[in-house]
A and B are shown apart, each in its own frame.
Chain A
Amino acid sequence: MSETILAIQNLSKKYKIKTHPFSLKYAWLKAVNDVSLNIRKGELLGLVGESGCGKTTLAKLLLFLEKPDQGKIQWRDTLLTGLGPKKLKFWRRLVQPIFQDPFASLNPKQTINQILQEPLLIHHLGDRRKRNRAVNQVLTEVGLSPKLKTAYPHQLSGGQRQRIAIARALILKPEFIIADEPTSALDVSVQAQIVNLLLESQAKRQITYLFISHNLSLVANIAERIAVMYMGKVIEIMERNQFLGEHHPYTEVLWSSIPRLERKTKINVQQWGEPPNPLFLPSGCVFHPRCKQKIEICKKEVPSLKEIKPGHWIACHLF
């Protein structure tokens, strides 16, 4: 087991939301609720959950695009939370994001060359010749021709744009990449190409990945570990060889929701219902209203993450 490179401790972020568009009342939406997670050096950690579970907010907190209300984020020996904007600049170079929609994340008024040079200019890296060389190199690395340098984003296909977004992340030689649903806007055949590109860069450059997705079958195919989020909480963390073992009841629901070609046992999917309103979370375990294995204690007490096997953590009273 390799060392922890990024430690997240009791991280929380809540937003003040109107309970109704015309209402004067506010409620707190706990987008990320007391999350602790360790990310190991060089691994690809998959983070899955349904929409609204807080996975993107967690990514924003790690990127320092949002300020946490509570908790610590530590990179190697450096405590990042509490650092001022100037001292954080080193982190902004080490961590790079790749977003979902390559149509929205590239500036339509810049050429590919300008888009790729901008990170280097911001961090004052290299002279003009070196920057040009870096752009050519990174374009080749993501499987594009350096001739595309003069093109604008609208001239490229979705897959090509996502490659540019990856190139923009790679050009700073980051150590940690947060990919937030990087393939959900793409066709399946293109998705496979993009995912393989990320896996290659992980192996070649020893980059640590946080791969966020709602697609459990995709993540299960590529991740070394998976963390499952539900309503702002991490409810399960598992190693690759534990993907097919026993799980938190919510993870079971996610597994069995995946369309399969041959389904042996018939399950009653209607009883799952839908996620609760995040403004008014249920008491106790947030999953208990949808859980068919719930016991009395689930309504009262919030379960904490427990290690049931080495490396396998579950937050559930049943374990």
Chain B
Amino acid sequence: MLLKVHNLHVWFRKKKETIPAVNGVSFSIAQDDTLGLVGESGSGKTITALAILGLVPPPGEIIKGEILFLGQNLLFLPPKRWQQLRGKEISIIFQDPMTSLNPVFTIGEQIAEVFTHHFEYSTKEAKIKAIELLKKVGIPAAESRLNAYPHQLSGGLRQRVMIAMALAAQPKLLIADEPTTALDVTVQAQILELMLNLKRQMGMSILFISHDLTVVAQVVRRIAVMYAGKITEMANTEELFKNPLHPYTQGLLNAIPRIEDVSDKKRHLRTIAGQNGQAFTTLGCPFAPRCDKRLPICLRRMPDFREYSEKHQVACWLYE
């Protein structure tokens, strides 16, 4: 197993209240595997990713749980060792390529930095490597683009540069946190295909985080659905779309305006009642207040995350 997250709790303690942003999350990713983490804003998916990188922003703290990377618990690593892993063994692509690239360095310098920092390459060697990478991520005229600053590139090209940086050190795990949300649909399709091609070539594992189930489904083999800091359902991609068990997953799938549904007549979208969030403090299932299939027990006790069938797990009283 490449990465195993077990019972992870990340809490944000403020003066009066404690927000359990991640509340008992467990999943694992094997070598050469892909997992999608899907949830609406505030469900804790980004905090989970940041926890794996050791970058949880204060006042958040990892309260309990384990993050095993190749069998080694990252939470016991000294900060220096963790830093050596970041960008080399585990790297991340963020949502907004404008704010995650440094505006005062050329993209060539920023990519080369990975090589000089982690591998002690000379500047010249690093430059050659950077050109190679830019070609690999499909940037035309790579040699001349090396001296470009981020503001001179379009959003799609910037995201390609981010991917080049993230893959420079041939990491074992790539975390992609909403990598296409800021992009136009035509560019999004190109970036998703690029990620899949690179995965095939380089064989890294991908943890793909997004609020959009249809985008995630383009890339990953398995999907975990998060709600209010907990994973509510996990299954293979086709299985999840064919046979969604948790009422939240069902609602989410129904609410997506799908191009397959376009017909001459019907003109409204199916909804989930209520608002998300503010469900962190309940004893029962966090989705229970919005759930139309709620049982009396749902409000009192949290259901266990159980195996429903092979490769399909769910936390819901309906299937106990």
Residue ranges of A at the interface with B (Cβ–Cβ < 8 Å): 50-51, 157-160, 187-193, 195-196, 199, 214-218, 220-222, 224, 240-241, 243-244, 253-261, 269-270, 272, 274-275
Q: How far is the CA of A254 from the CA of B276 in the complex (A)?
A: 31
Q: Are B190 and A259 in contact (CB under 8 A)?
A: no
- Tell whether B136 is near chain A: CB-to-CB under 8 Å: no
The residues of B that contact A215 with a CB separation of less than 8 Å are: 185, 257
Q: Which chain B residues in 243-258 approach chain A with CB under 8 Å?
A: 251-252, 254-258
Query: Are A192 and B270 touching (Cβ within 8 A)?
Result: yes
**Distance in angstroms between the alpha carbons of A191 and B211 in the assembled complex:** 12
Contact for A214 among B185, B217, B252, B277, CB less than 8 A: B185
For the complex with contacts A187-B40, A196-B271, A259-B215, 20 further pairs of A-B residues with Cβ separation under 8 Å are: A160-B275, A187-B41, A187-B211, A188-B255, A189-B271, A192-B270, A195-B268, A214-B185, A216-B185, A217-B259, A221-B261, A222-B268, A224-B267, A258-B214, A259-B188, A259-B189, A259-B192, A259-B217, A261-B258, A272-B190
Residues of B within 8 A of A188 (CB): 40, 211-212, 252, 255-256
- In angstroms, Cα B128 to Cα A4, docked, is 61
| B156 CB-CB contact with A under 8 Å | yes
Task: List A contacts of B186 (CB < 8 A).
Answer: 50, 253-254, 257, 269, 272, 274
> Please, which residues of chain A bring their CB within 8 A of the CB of B214?
258-261
Task: With both chains docked as a complex, state the minimum distance between the C-beta of A254 and any C-beta of chain B, in angstroms.
Answer: 6
User: Is the CB of B193 closer than 8 A to any CB of chain A?
Assistant: yes
CA distance A220 to B193 in the complex (A): 24
Q: How far is the CB of B125 from chain A (nearest CB, A)?
A: 29
Complex contact A274–B157 (CB within 8 A): yes
Write the nearest CB–CB distance from A95 to chain B, whole angstroms: 23
Interface of A is mostly: helix
Residues of B within 8 A of A195 (CB): 257, 268-269
Q: Given A188-B252, A259-B192, verify A50-B185 contact (CB < 8 Å).
A: yes
B17 within 8 A of A: no
Partner of A216 from B156, B259, B260, B261 at Cβ < 8 Å: B259
- Show 13 residue pairs from A and B whose CB-CB distance is below 8 angstroms, ordered by the A residue: A157-B275, A188-B255, A189-B251, A189-B272, A192-B254, A214-B185, A221-B257, A222-B257, A259-B189, A260-B258, A260-B260, A261-B214, A261-B260
Q: CB of B138 within 8 A of chain A?
A: yes
List, in ascending order, chain A residues with CB within 8 A of B268's CB.
Answer: 195-196, 199, 222
Restricting to B181-226, which residues have a CB under 8 Å from any CB of A? 184-190, 192-194, 211-212, 214-215, 217-218
Determine how close the nearest CB of chain A comes to the CB of B162; give it in whole angstroms: 16
Q: A258 to chain B: which residues have CB within 8 Å?
A: 185, 214, 259
Residues of B within 8 A of A217 (CB): 257-259, 262
**Central interface residue in A190, A192, A243, by most chain B CB within 10 Å:** A192
Q: Quick check: A189 and B276 within 8 Å, CB to CB?
A: yes
Q: Specify which chain A residues have a CB less than 8 angstroms from the CB of B262 in the assembled complex.
A: 217, 220-221, 243-244
Measured between C-beta atoms, what is the minimum distance from A3 to chain B in Å? Answer: 21
On whether the beta carbons of B269 and A221 are closer than 8 Å, the reply is yes
A243 — which chain B residues lie within 8 A by C-beta? 262
Known pairs A157-B275, A159-B275, A190-B276; A214 contacts B267 (CB<8 A): no
